[in-house]
Structure formats: C-alpha cells, structure tokens
Structure 1
Amino acid sequence: MNSARLKICGLMDVETVRQLNGLPIDEIGFVFAKSRRQISPQLAALLIDEVKQLVHPEGNVHRTVGVFVNATLEDLRELLAIAPLDVIQLHGDEPPELCREIKQSLQVQVWKVFSVQDGSGGRPETKAAELLEPYRGVDAVLIDTAGGGTGKTFDWTKVIAYQEAAHRLGVPLYVAGGLQPDNVSELLKIYSPDGVDVSSGVETNGKKDIAKIREFVERVKQG
C-alpha cells in the first residue's frame, strides 16, 4: 500500500462526509476563503462532528483542515472557537511571522501553500529553497497550480525541488492542482510526494462524487 497521505478538500455537506466512512483518508478539508465551496463556521462545526465519527481502516485519526486566504489572527481565533479545526492551511500572502504566531497562539498545525508558476525561470531547486526557508516551523508545505482551484496541473518536474526544500525544513510536501483518478498514479510513481490533495478532480457537476472519491483513494493507496 502506498504511504502517501491523502487529503480530500472542499467538503460541504453531512451526507458526503458520512460516505467517507471506512476510507483511508488522512485529512478532510473545508474552504473558508471566497469560493463556490466556501462554508460557514457553523456548518463546519457540524461537519467536524461528523468527521469525528468516521472510522479509518488503519485506526488513524482523520484531521480536519481549514483553507484560508489572508485571514487575520483574530479571524482565525473567532472561527476556531466555533469550528475546532486541527490544521490551518494558508493560501495567501501570509508572512512567516504570522504563520508562527498562528501556530503558537492558536495551538493548531499550520500548512503553507505555494503557487507553482510554470516557466518562471531560474533554477527550480534554488527558487524552492529560497521560498520555503523563511517558513521554517510550519507543519507541512503544499504546492498548487498558480491561481488555486483551477483544476489544472502544473509542471510536475518542479515537485522534486520543492520536496527537497520541504524535507530540509523537516516537513512533508503535499501536491495539489488538477489531480484526479486518471493522473494521480503517475504523479506518485514518478515523483513520490509525501501527500496529495484533491477537490475538483473528484466532483461531478460541481459536487463531490463518492464513486470518484473511492477510485481516487484506491489509486493513491495502490500507488
């Protein structure tokens, strides 16, 4: 079985969360940034309660992740009082100092997301190292196609440099952006990221499709 961690993002309703029962999914994400998948703190609290009822086949605990863009420390404090997330995933221009403050003050894990620009020039290993080094202390790094939520992949050859840079920080690297059942096996086989993050790739007509989720999970765990 593949050891890559698996995150499903953009959950919006109780029924879909319940359908994840028994699947080896490690993280379940909710979007609080402006998006068609954005949910309220109150709905998130309800969904977090549902996640706590899920059974992981390996006995692991499902972690809940909130997706934010340029939220303030106080915004996050107020939200966590309603919806007790395990992880804060930051997609904006959040400086390293804020990431550390969020982690220390709110006692949550902090993941920092970096957009991968295709054809941006320069040595990718140098660029990745320079980008990530100031964020030493975060709990994970996630790379996504520039723009986020585009449903498009980026140049996966850049995964290597970001993975090396993340490992120098002592944290895992997750890859997002255009992943779906048909391409995730290739990503894992060739580049072996520590984790993958999927949202639109397991949807049909804008809604999570449990058949696609199951297929994606199977492909990830098979590698």
Structure 2
Amino acid sequence: MTEPEQGNGRATRVKICGLRDAETMRAMDGLPIDEVGFVFAKSRRQIAPELASELIAAARRLRNAEGAAPRTVGVFVNPTMDELRETLRIAPLDIVQLHGEESPSFCAEARSAFGVAVWKVLSVTPEDGADPDSDGSGRLQAYIGSVDGFLIDTAGGGTGKTFAWSVIDRYKEAAGGVPLYVAGGLHPDNVVELVKRYAPGGVDVSSGVETDGAKDMTKIRLFAERVQGV
C-alpha cells in the first residue's frame, strides 16, 4: 500500500524539517507547505516528545495554500519499537521517518502497530552518481509494500550538501509509484532547478532555510513559494 496523495494541486510537495518553536510554526500559516518535521534523533535540532506534542497541536491549527493542515513527521535513527511507542504516545505524529538501518520488516511492523505512515530514508553515495550501473536505487525494492514513502539524501545526512541529481530518475523508477522525496543541500536558490528537471514527489529542507542555525521565515516562504511556482 502506498500513501494516498492529498491532492494539493502541485506535483512536488514541500516538507520543512527541524522545527523547534511554535512562533515559526504559526508564521507558516497559509504557505504551500505539506509536511513539517521534528527531529527525535540525536542532533542539534533534536526536541523532546513533550515539545513535539505542542508543535503538533500548533501544526494542526495551520492551513496551507490548499486549506489543509500540514502532516507531521518525526525523524528517527534506529529506534526500538518501545521508543517509537513511547514517543507516539506523547507526540501523535502522522508519519515516522526512519534514517537508520531499519529493515523492511521493522518498517512494516511500525506501520501496522502504530497506525502511522512510514517513510524510509536512503543515502545517496558519491559512487551512485559516478557509475549508473551500480547506483543504490535497487535498495528501494526490498521496501516496496512496507513503506508509504522514500526520501533520498546526501550520505551522512544533515551535511548541507547536494548529491548527484542525475540518479533521481533511477530512484523514482525503482520506487515503483511510492512517493519519492529529495533532501540534501536544498535551498531557495537551487530548488527550482531540481523540481523543473526531476519533478520529485517532494522536497525536504532544513538547514537551507536557516540563518545562523535558526529557522528563517523569509527563506521558508521563498522556498515554498518557489516550489509552488514551478
């Protein structure tokens, strides 16, 4: 089963990740943003489930450009089922985004046990772009039927660097219709090129809409509106 599309009238969805304060959440009201993300893995953007609960409540009061509330996404790296259960008890997320070495069976179990959508993140290595015959897109195949979405990111995650976008079409084909989001080094000045050339299912940004480590509403607005305008 793949995640149902939510008819936003745009080919590419927008996810803003690494949110940590209600003021920024409130300022996003009315913008063409489809998902908002909160980091539970160890990171400088990590937040506690209790704060996430408050931000989820704030997100559900928002309306994007199509009149819908953005979906809430939690970022995890190799969590246990108990850790997911406790976090979701406090912070009722819509989507669990898994960045570690989680197996297809783990993804399927989390999806079934908690009634949430599950996205699997895969890292794109330099070798993926260097040799079209050995890119990592085949890794997606094992997860078909166990997840609701894929996200591909620069190896290492949170590097602020892009990967070789030439591999995106192969990853999209391998995803077999499951939505594919792209992250890694995106910002308002390069996202239009990405969307025009490769039309991913979604784009995910965090550091690219920050100034001095804090979310910058001018950059968030510019990023979302530029994607909407493609």
TM-score range, shorter chain: over 0.9
Cα distance in structure 2, aligned partners of 1:126 and 1:158: 7
Q: CA RMSD in A?
A: 1.3
Q: Secondary structure at the match of 1:119?
A: helix
Question: Do residues 222 (structure 1) and 219 (structure 2) align?
Answer: no
Of 167, 172, 181, which aligns to 2:179? 172
Aligned to 1:157: 166
Number of the residue aligned with 1:198 = 205
**Percent of aligned positions that are identical:** 59
Partner of 1:123: 132
Aligned to 1:146: 155
Alignment gaps of 5+ in structure 2: 1-8
- Equivalents in 2 of 1:2, 1:61: separation in Å? 15
TM-score normalised according to structure 2 size: 0.92
Give the distance between the partners of 2:202 and 2:76, measured in 1 at CA.
19
Gaps of 5+ in 1: none
Q: What code does the residue aligned with 1:144 have? A: D
SS of 2:14's partner is strand
Could you say which residue in structure 1 is the equivalent of 2:141? Answer: 133
The CA distance in 2 between the partners of 1:41 and 1:48, in whole Å, is 10
Partner of 1:212: 219
Once residues 110 and 70 of structure 1 are traced to their aligned partners in structure 2, the CA distance between those partners, rounded to angstroms, is 13
CA distance in 1, matches of 2:110, 2:80: 9
For normalisation by structure 1, the TM-score amounts to 0.95
Aligned-partner Cα distance in 2 for 1:149–1:190: 23
Structure 1 runs of 4+ aligned residues shifted over 4 Å read none
* Secondary structure in structure 1 of the residue aligned to 2:127: coil
Distance 1:124 1:112 in 2: 23
1:60 deviates by 2.1
